[in-house]
Structure 1
Amino acid sequence: MRRYYFDLIEGDEIFPDEEGLELSTIAKVQEQAARSLADMARDAVRTLGGDSQQLSIEVRDDSGPVLHLKFTFAVERRGH
């Protein structure tokens, strides 16, 4: 199995994955990245004011980039 690293990107900040995960297929890599991105979005919406937010995950192996997932959202508060 290959080891994949899931680097988290929030706006201009990059949080590199130093440990990685061993996964057997690219489908499992994509599923893990999508789950991680959903977790990031859930956490970010709790702390987000009225700004937009771009979150992404860059997946790499020892040879280089393999997959990139992006999620962009905005919160608009109206009234109060």
Structure 2
Amino acid sequence: MKRFYFDIREGDEIIPDEEGLELSTIEKVHEEAARSLADMARDAIRARGDGVPHEIAIEVRDDSGPVLQVKFTFEVDRRKH
């Protein structure tokens, strides 16, 4: 199995994954990244109700370099009624 690293990006800040995970297929890598991002997005929505756009991403790499990126943007656009 190959080792993949799931770096977290919030705005201009990046938190590198130093440990990584061993996964057997790119589909499993995609699933893990999407599941992790969904958890992070849920937490961001709870914490940020101010309408300021908030973008978070997981950038996946292996020993050869970038593999894929999943990202989520949260923005509230309140309209007058």
Matched, 1:66 2:67: yes
CA RMSD of aligned residues (A): 1.3
> Which is worse superposed, 13-22 or 69-78?
69-78
Residue 32 of structure 2 aligns to a residue whose secondary structure is helix
Using the alignment, how far apart are the partners of 2:9 and 2:25 within structure 1? Answer: 23
- Measured in 2, the distance between the counterparts of 1:47 and 1:2 equals 35
Alignment of 1:1-80 (within 5 A): 1-48=1-48, 49-77=50-78
In 2, Cα distance between the equivalents of 1:47 and 1:76? 16
TM-score norm. by structure 1 comes to 0.90
Q: Deviations over 1:36-58 (max 9, x none)?
A: 11011011111112211111110
Give the Å deviation of 1:75. 2.1
Tell me how far apart the structure 2 counterparts of residues 30 and 37 of structure 1 sit (CA, whole Å): 11
Q: Note the alpha carbon deviations across 1:9-34, whole angstroms, 9 max, x for none.
A: 11111111010000000000000000
- Give the number of equivalent residue pairs: 79
Runs of 4+ in 1 over 3 A off after TM superposition: 76-79
> Which one-letter code corresponds to 1:20 in the other structure?
G
Return the TM-score normalized by structure 2.
0.89
3-state SS, counterpart of residue 14 of structure 2: strand
Q: Percent identity?
A: 71
Gaps of 5+ in 2: none
